[in-house]
Structure 1
Amino acid sequence: MSLDTVKHASETPDSEQPWKELGLKEDEYARIREILGRRPTGAELAMYSVMWSEHCSYKSSKVHLKQFGEKVPDNDAMLVGIGENAGVVDVGQGYAVTFKVESHNHPSYIEPYQGAATGVGGIVRDILAMGARPVAVVDPLRFGAADHPDTKRVLPGVVAGIGGYGNCLGLPNIGGEVVFDSCYQGNPLVNAGCIGVMKHEDIHLAKASGPGNKVILYGARTGGDGIGGVSVLASETFDDTKPTKRPAVQVGDPFQEKLLIECTLEIFKEKLVAGIQDLGGAGLSCATSELASAGSGGMRVELDTVPLRDATLSPEEILMSESQERMCAIVEPQHVDRFMEICEKWDVTATVIGEVTDGDHLEIFWHGELIVDVPPGTVAHEGPTYHRPYARPEWQDALQADDAGKLDRPQTGAELKDQVLKLISSPNQASKSWITDQYDRFVQGNTVLAQPEDAGMVRIDDETNLGVAMATDGNGRYAKLDPYTGAQLALAEAYRNVAASGAKPLAISDCLNFGSPEDPAVMWQFAEATRGLADGCLQLGTPVTGGNVSLYNQTGEVAIHPTPVVAVLGVIDDVNRRTPIAFAEEGQLLYLLGDTKEEFGGSAWSEVIHQHLGGMPPAVDLDREKLLGEILISASRDGMIDAAHDLSDGGLVQAVVESCLRGGNGARLVVPEGLDAFTFLFSESAGRAVVAVPRSEELRFTDMCGARGLPATRIGVVDGDAVDVQGEFALSLEELRTAHEATIPGLLA
């Protein structure tokens, strides 16, 4: 194939180009020609195609995402917001924490192990690029039906990839979720989050300024794996009826990444970089164009100096490759030698591939020939903006009218007992220890809470015991019933989980997983969920620091449930005051906080017992969520509660069973006046938690709740070796543990 140069492109305006095969629309190709005043070269076409993909440019979603900046003011903790590799918040004592959640959905379906592993690697480098040491990861996961044969292919591979990569990096996996639903059968959701810690003065941004500063590519050599990678895979629906672009999934090397992390942190410590960017989606196309666009000048790159694993790669392939474990740094000339010494010390390949110029274009050369000459902003930040049509789907009203209240309910204690066992042993409510035991949750020695706790928590200062907590949540069944409310319920649950651990919620990241934006019904779901999340964050005072949009999670015409996943980060002054979920001591008094109503739409009970999805999800009261959070945090700090567990999927009985099994103690429960046993046990009303209160603190705790106006109902006591609902049924801990823990190994081992 002859090499298209800029000059040749100018002289041959009518040459045919494979813009359609690269995923560009006709009007997008025309826009590129308009920007350049000529047809693009092959290398330019490759760059625009990956950078203007849905995954990289957010072309269908950014008109809605702007609400996060317009509606939600930054709180005092915000240091870096949307637009950088990850958001950064102030957590006190001079520390800053950066965190983000991303998706690696489509690659993980094609090649589960490497898709999931490189998802972890990519999010870790995003955090590293901000100047932080990564300290923990989380992984919200969604799979198809638990008993489907393909789930046995995808889930073990994904779990092994997450565990294999994260464990090798020495990063504790402290949280996340595992959800099964047939809607994810052809499109599992593999979301990955990471938390990093640094001092305020160590924050780094992705920009290339200062003419003469060198552009250094360092880390792994560039290979043919992942050419187009996630940037293409995440921008098209899987459909067996037409040709599809399925490039090779990236291949990860966690040991190379560990060297890259330590090398980069030493480089940061000596203040050797003026700007830095990781290489993830769109590879060098992204790193060079974004660094140049965010800087004050241009950039010149000699592409033939890029270290390769495959000498046959064309320049287009080098620009599109998403090979893992690579970073791009901007370094002042006087620091280059020291930079290289540190890379050599860590056995990390480093090469000067270009320099910052005083121009305004990104120029890329291949063996002396100019093959790219573009305004970098047009590649990185000025992709198309689509105002996709959206409309409430015709079936939405019928779905909401199909109320779960009509479903047959248990009438006797024996029926209640039977349904409790079915609930806690169902795949979504059963113990996930078979999965989480494959992750190292305590490496580094700073993990103080991890699965199955409400939130993961790590210590970030050994002397003061300052710590941070994170929880991720999202309920696609709720969002299918009402996307606006469903998004707020995800936010509320993650907020509640962090507060239940004793930490104060500060900010959020999100991963918005939806079907094809070309479907007006899906686009309506996305618009409603985004609006709900923005309104919810405004009310709770939790700004959005950044996140990810994953669209085209769809096989043919079948889209996943709308699944907005929300990660809430919180801070706790002393991790020794954390609140676990375990009922650890007999005699503790159990209090139900909040109001319990007949709310079963989208509930675990309706799914497990009746295979039903319909009606309205639980109502959201964010003022109540805020009040509940304040009570949980104050009670934790002042020693008024020994345990707390939020109430969500499965209702009160699910939470009580989990807390009893965690602590090895039973509970005697009394159904409060005004509630029937069924509603008491299975309702999924939001804004609730169950807490264990020492007898010595009961008066102080109830006085605080009463003074603040939070309903607090005494429902029982920690006692014995069974969950005993007085007058209804009793289930021994042994029977409960067998039912709760046998399901996942039975399906997947």
Structure 2
Amino acid sequence: MTLDTVEHASSTPDHQQPWAELGLKPDEYQRIREILGRRPTGAELAMYSVMWSEHCSYKSSKVHLRKFGELPQETPLGKTLAGIGENAGVIDIGQGYAVTFKVESHNHPSYVEPYQGAATGIGGIVRDILAMGARPVAVMDPLRFGPLDAPDTARVLPGIVAGVGGYGNCLGLPNIGGEVVFDETYVGNPLVNALCVGVLRHEDLHLAHASGAGNKVVLYGARTGGDGIGGVSVLASETFTDEGPTKRPSVQVGDPFMEKLLIECTLELFKAGVVAGIQDLGGAGLSCATSELASAGDGGMHVELDQVPLRDATLSPEEILMSESQERMMAVVEPQHLAAFMDICRKWDVEAVVVGEVTDGDRLVIDWHGETVVDVPPRSVAHDGPVYERPYARPTWQDDLQADGAEKLPRPTSPEALREQFEQVVTSPNMADKSWVTHQYDRYVLGNTVLAQPEDAGVVRVDEETGLGVAVSTDCNGRFAKLDPYAGAQLALVESYRNVAVTGAQPLAVTDCLNFGSPEDPDVMWQFERATHGLKDACAELGIPVTGGNVSFYNQTGDTPILPTPVVGVLGVIQDVRQRVTQGFRTEGAHLLLLGETRDELSGSTWADVVHGHLGGLPPAVDLDAERRLAALMVDAAKSAIVEAAHDLSDGGLAMAVAEAAFRNGVGATLELEDPFIDLFSESAGRVLVAVPEDNHEEFVSLAEQHGVELASIGRTGGAQIVVDGRFAIDVAQLREAWRSTLPAVLGSISAHA
């Protein structure tokens, strides 16, 4: 078979190519020909197809994501050190430290191959953090599944959880938080979002660029195999049919032990000062690493593809360029540092090979056994792909959906009915104990985890001497986003913002993972446009930057898209982790104070969903100024050590907050409520439940007044029951047992799925 070289491509302009099978549109293929002045070679076609895929190029979302670049890049502690466009955002947290964090999706691969899809999602996001020069210190995993009792959930959930835990545990990284949410729309399309946090000193920051003619390009880590050819770049760029995915390329296969060696090797390379530029190999593999490094540099690059170490010697150049084999990195190394670079790799038993060098020109040239198979402008591959302004319009059904509010739903008319619905909400799958999942994760490895699930936010110590730490939370209520995508995205943001502040940490920055249906559907694109606009407006008002994130489209089965799910992660800094506040009641007789205003806001609520199976109306109102004042109060209260416990109110409202706070230490509460039904089940935003000891009560009330935060006294802690307004009482231990049993009753014991 004739090798499809650049010379051959130039002389055979009419040669038929499988551009459509690779996901390219007719006009996209024609544009490639115009860029090159000829038809592409097979290797060039492979590169453009994966790099111009939805997953890699953001071609349907770029026009909407640009608005995040308009946000100020300052935080309360200083400038953002690296933001949108880098592998991950990096923010200053003081004392010479910086933190990098990012969340990404691995949804479709995790449906096809649950264990490996989820495992390699963790591996990929960890390498993004590593590439910034940081040591990864923690991971989180926002997950979405179909109904708990659905056959599809039984197939994918155990494997996904085992994959997240297996890979993260082997790396020795604590899993400090996340979400597990069930909804009918995720049947056949689970969401597996993965977040990683890393820590670095300011001077250790590294960026992805290839500069300096004559510098060597080194590929190091695992060998390249046939697994994941097209991988996430193809899988995440197409809708699944009702029968399953229409394309089934191999999902990447992960090796966490190789990744652990890669982490330690890379950190030592950074410390030795022998790396001039670096890029991890994730989606689109070598196609991405070579083109992005060259595009971000000041020259070109020449690569000898036959130098790439292979696990399968039969791979073609196209397959090598498209392979998404895991645990690989690419570095740019100055010649005088090459020997030291190779010595460090040998020390860690990490294979490293020089595969090319930086050139004076402006082309990315790739040879295969001495013949040129790629000769392209690297920017045309990596950054100047197609940009679509997809049509969008408010759905015709949106008005009817919003008009169908929860106000019409029958409410409990007796104490017995109120108690029954309280128990229904608390023990429902979305509210129930997630220990079945979290007990498969090591939450405390490395010894710096200060708070982890089921706390409102995960907290990690950064500096042992000063106690400096960071808190992270991820959140999204897809039901709210369906009712109003603009408000829904803001509600996701303020919930994460509030969860971070409740621990005593000052919110600093945002990362997001925007999970939506097909961008070719105007209804979906309207949801996306509204959600990104809402997120941008809220970040601007709160004064926090979006430092990076991910867009995941085509999350639908057939014509049924998922609930719009803009997952928002917020990171905050706490000056001394010993001052952190936990959610559990601890003593008898502490004042229970409800901060913020409670309104009759039940549309999209857990109560409406669980008790009535209803979704309609308008989500709770967002008051960003009130959220800022509430957060400032909680940060100051933590510093003053006057709060015994604090819990954000969100899904499940006060009912859920009181139950979870009581479950932590077995301490009950007696509540005195003006309107028990509204007070228990409303999901009004901007609210926190705090327990304040008698000796600190006056000081806390005064502090709340100073911050302009509304406050209501609703009872006291103590006893072994939750007593609501004299109407009913529930034994804490019995309710906790029912809460704990919801997932195991359906999924069985953890060991059965290990």
TM-score normalised according to structure 2 size: 0.98
Greater alpha carbon shift after TM alignment, 77-86 vs 93-102 = 77-86
| Contact 1:77/1:506 (8 A) holds in 2 | no
2:535 corresponds in structure 1 to: 533
| Contact 2:161/2:437 (8 A) holds in 1 | yes
Separation in 2, partners of 1:535, 1:709? 23
- Give runs of ≥4 in structure 1 deviating > 4 Å: 240-243
SS at match of 1:444: coil
Separation in 1, partners of 2:493, 2:245? 38
For residues 413-464 of structure 1, what are the alpha-carbon distances to aligned partners after superposition, in whole Å with 9 as ceiling and x for unaligned? 1111111111111000000011101000000000000000000000010100
Separation in 2, partners of 1:454, 1:2? 60
Q: Percent identity?
A: 70
For residues 308-362 of structure 1, what are the alpha-carbon distances to aligned partners after superposition, in whole Å with 9 as ceiling and x for unaligned? 0000000000000000000000000111111111111111110000000011000
2:3 corresponds in structure 1 to: 3
| Contact 1:72/1:544 (8 A) holds in 2 | no
1:500 corresponds in structure 2 to: 502
| Contact 1:73/1:538 (8 A) holds in 2 | no
For residues 613-639 of structure 1, what are the alpha-carbon distances to aligned partners after superposition, in whole Å with 9 as ceiling and x for unaligned? 000000000100000000011001111
1:236 corresponds in structure 2 to: 238
For residues 588-607 of structure 1, what are the alpha-carbon distances to aligned partners after superposition, in whole Å with 9 as ceiling and x for unaligned? 11100000000001000000
**What is the CA-CA distance between 1:412 and the residue it aligns to?**
1.3
Q: Which amino acid aligns with 2:5?
A: T
Q: Does 1:405 align with 2:403?
A: no
Q: Does 1:50 align with 2:50?
A: yes
Separation in 2, partners of 1:194, 1:282? 20
For residues 478-535 of structure 1, what are the alpha-carbon distances to aligned partners after superposition, in whole Å with 9 as ceiling and x for unaligned? 0000000000000000000000010000000000000000000000000000000000
Picking from 316, 319, 323, the partner of 2:318 is 316
1:21 corresponds in structure 2 to: 21
2:747 corresponds in structure 1 to: 748
For residues 278-318 of structure 1, what are the alpha-carbon distances to aligned partners after superposition, in whole Å with 9 as ceiling and x for unaligned? 00000000000000000000000000000000000000000
SS at match of 1:191: strand
1:395 corresponds in structure 2 to: 397
Superposed, 1:630-709 pairs within 5 Å as 630-671=632-673, 675-709=674-708
**What is the CA-CA distance between 1:72 and the residue it aligns to?**
4.5
Superposed, 1:110-509 pairs within 5 Å as 110-240=112-242, 244-509=246-511
**What is the CA-CA distance between 1:71 and the residue it aligns to?**
4.1
Q: Does 1:594 align with 2:596?
A: yes
2:752 corresponds in structure 1 to: none
**What is the CA-CA distance between 1:708 and the residue it aligns to?**
2.4
Greater alpha carbon shift after TM alignment, 356-365 vs 244-253 = 244-253
Separation in 1, partners of 2:567, 2:462? 25
2:733 corresponds in structure 1 to: 734
Separation in 1, partners of 2:707, 2:690? 17
SS at match of 2:520: coil
Q: Which amino acid aligns with 2:731?
A: S
Separation in 2, partners of 1:665, 1:244? 53
**What is the CA-CA distance between 1:73 and the residue it aligns to?**
4.5
TM-score normalised according to structure 1 size: 0.99
Separation in 2, partners of 1:21, 1:242? 18
| Contact 2:120/2:252 (8 A) holds in 1 | yes
Q: Which amino acid aligns with 2:29?
A: Y
Separation in 1, partners of 2:71, 2:472? 23
Separation in 1, partners of 2:243, 2:383? 33
| Contact 1:77/1:91 (8 A) holds in 2 | no
SS at match of 2:92: strand
Q: Which amino acid aligns with 2:709?
A: L
| Contact 1:72/1:537 (8 A) holds in 2 | no
SS at match of 2:374: strand
Separation in 1, partners of 2:670, 2:429? 26
Separation in 2, partners of 1:476, 1:452? 20
**What is the CA-CA distance between 1:2 and the residue it aligns to?**
2.4
For residues 152-178 of structure 1, what are the alpha-carbon distances to aligned partners after superposition, in whole Å with 9 as ceiling and x for unaligned? 110000000000000000000001000
1:39 corresponds in structure 2 to: 39
| Contact 1:272/1:335 (8 A) holds in 2 | yes
| Contact 2:632/2:707 (8 A) holds in 1 | no
1:580 corresponds in structure 2 to: 582
Superposed, 1:70-81 pairs within 5 Å as 70-75=70-75, 76-81=78-83
Q: Which amino acid aligns with 1:468?
A: V
Separation in 2, partners of 1:421, 1:362? 62
Q: Which amino acid aligns with 1:485?
A: A
Separation in 1, partners of 2:737, 2:73? 48
| Contact 1:589/1:714 (8 A) holds in 2 | yes
SS at match of 2:446: helix
SS at match of 2:74: coil
For residues 569-590 of structure 1, what are the alpha-carbon distances to aligned partners after superposition, in whole Å with 9 as ceiling and x for unaligned? 0000000000000101112111
Provide closer, same or farther for how the CA distance between residues 139 and 710 of structure 1 changes in structure 2, counting only shifts above 3 A.
same
Q: Which amino acid aligns with 2:563?
A: H
Separation in 1, partners of 2:599, 2:449? 36
Separation in 2, partners of 1:52, 1:543? 27
Aligned length: 746
1:717 corresponds in structure 2 to: 716
Separation in 2, partners of 1:442, 1:329? 32
1:517 corresponds in structure 2 to: 519
Greater alpha carbon shift after TM alignment, 241-250 vs 524-533 = 241-250
**What is the CA-CA distance between 1:240 and the residue it aligns to?**
4.6
| Contact 2:71/2:546 (8 A) holds in 1 | no
Q: Which amino acid aligns with 1:716?
A: G
Q: Which amino acid aligns with 1:538?
A: A
**What is the CA-CA distance between 1:726 and the residue it aligns to?**
2.4
Separation in 1, partners of 2:74, 2:313? 48
1:101 corresponds in structure 2 to: 103
SS at match of 1:277: strand
SS at match of 2:616: coil
2:751 corresponds in structure 1 to: none
SS at match of 1:515: coil
Greater alpha carbon shift after TM alignment, 534-543 vs 66-75 = 66-75
Separation in 2, partners of 1:255, 1:606? 46
| Contact 1:72/1:534 (8 A) holds in 2 | no
**What is the CA-CA distance between 1:727 and the residue it aligns to?**
1.8
SS at match of 1:468: strand
Q: Does 1:62 align with 2:62?
A: yes
**What is the CA-CA distance between 1:739 and the residue it aligns to?**
1.4
For residues 158-206 of structure 1, what are the alpha-carbon distances to aligned partners after superposition, in whole Å with 9 as ceiling and x for unaligned? 0000000000000000010000001000110000000000000000000
| Contact 1:487/1:530 (8 A) holds in 2 | yes
**What is the CA-CA distance between 1:245 and the residue it aligns to?**
2.2
**What is the CA-CA distance between 1:242 and the residue it aligns to?**
10
Provide closer, same or farther for how the CA distance between residues 397 and 146 of structure 1 changes in structure 2, counting only shifts above 3 A.
same
